[in-house]
Amino acid sequence: MMKNKDFLDILVEISEMMNDITDIDSLLSRIVELAKGYLNVSRVSVMLKEGDFLKIVAGAGLNFDYKDFKIKVGEGASGLVAKTGETLVVNESKNMNSEFGYQAKSYMCIPLKVKENIIGVLNITDKVNDYFDENDVKIGKYMASQCALAIERYNLYEEEKKSEKLKLIGKFTSSIAHDIKNLLNIIQGYVELLEIELDDHPALKEYIDSIVTELKMIHGLTLDILDFSKKNIMLRRDEVRLSELISEIKKHADIMIKFTDIDFTISYENDTSLFIDKEKIFRVFMNLINNSIEALNGKGVIKIDAKVMDEYVVFEVYDNGIGIKKENIDKIFDPFFTSGKIKGTGLGLAVTKEIIIAHGGEISVESEEGEYTKFIIKLPVKK
């Protein structure tokens, strides 16, 4: 209980926390605990916008698991405040239903704003043996402003870190990317000569195909770094038949799983034309297949299904591997996020998403930890 604590002490304490704690989850948790104690209320929560929804990111006194809890912007008290940006205070003598599934007799919901942008809401519920007065509202608004400020500072900090990493990548790519590409071109030339010489030796030609696949993976990794460092995906589009793309993917995927117990299948219902940068789209699927192979640890199923739906070709890339943790689902397309992988730069999925977006397409993911992962890709059909 902090009812008698001087508000100046609270201001100082919040300021000190914001200077000392860089982890946003811990900082918001501390602020809501402080708000709960000082305002003498039963529950406090911070909700942030995620597209058209609000998601609880910090809470104090909540008696339910809120990790996956979401409400739509515009619905309920919190959703209304997130839409209008107006503070809502409700003092009732009778219990009323909360959108969080519990009874409440008093409720205060305050928008979190960064400049004029509404990024979320602060919910303060059930003043103990009392109702919210004007002073409580002022204090609540201050707490909300500090939450918004903490989030803004954290986002700026993360952007700064990302910028520093990009600078390092820029230096790296400018110094060696040209040399890597030249070496790969030389190796590719020798491999093509070997293919000609070994045309009558199918067993040796199979080894050559394996070398070509690995070269494509190395080349793709180099291009991932180059594309990301330039922050601009340049496309060289051509008309490509879906059947041609499927055949190319299958050829190299079969080589990638050759020494595993992985069952790989790829299928399509109707052939059509795509207007795409074939090399970059090929990299997209090699990235996804490589991730699936790692997730399966040598045994399992990878399936790719392609269907023509309206004006898009929809690809589903499925594996029954280890899946993705719920807390990581929203992070997997972030640059440098590797989810603990030993290999990889953490750029593969980030660049994959940028390539799909550059084509006017969409990419999303579904997953259950320990069960499966499925990426869904939509690419426009050539008109």
Q: Whose CA is closest to 348, among 165, 168, 225, 236?
A: 225
Q: In the chain, which residues have pLDDT < 50?
A: 1-4, 342
Q: Say what the pLDDT of residue 129 is.
A: 75
Residue 36: the pLDDT is 87
CATH 3.30.450.40 intervals, the chain = 7-160
One-character DSSP codes across 266-289: EEESS--EEEE-HHHHHHHHHHHH
- The CATH architecture one would assign to domain 7-160 is 2-Layer Sandwich (3.30)
pLDDT in the model for residue 63? 77
The residues of the chain that CATH labels 3.30.565.10 are 198-380
CB atoms within 10 A of CB 145: 15
E strand segments, the chain: 41-50, 53-60, 70-72, 88-97, 103-114, 117-127, 238-241, 261-268, 273-276, 299-309, 312-319, 362-368, 372-380
**Contact at 8 Å (CB) between 151 and 24?**
yes
Task: Tell me the sheet residues that pair with 125.
Answer: 43, 107
Burial group, residue 335, by CB count within 10 angstroms (0-12, 13-18, 19+): middle
Q: How far apart are CA 121 and CA 144, in angstroms?
A: 8
The strand pairing partners of 183, in sequence order, are none
Residue 172 has a pLDDT of 59
Which CATH number describes the domain made up of 198-380?
3.30.565.10
pLDDT (0 to 100) of residue 221: 66
The Cα–Cα gap between 215 and 187 comes to 8
Nearest partner of 51 among 373, 364, 375, 377, judged by Cα: 364
pLDDT at 272: 93
CB 298 within 8 A of CB 263: no
pTM of model > 0.75: no
Cα dihedral 124, 129, 134, 140, rounded to 10, equals -20
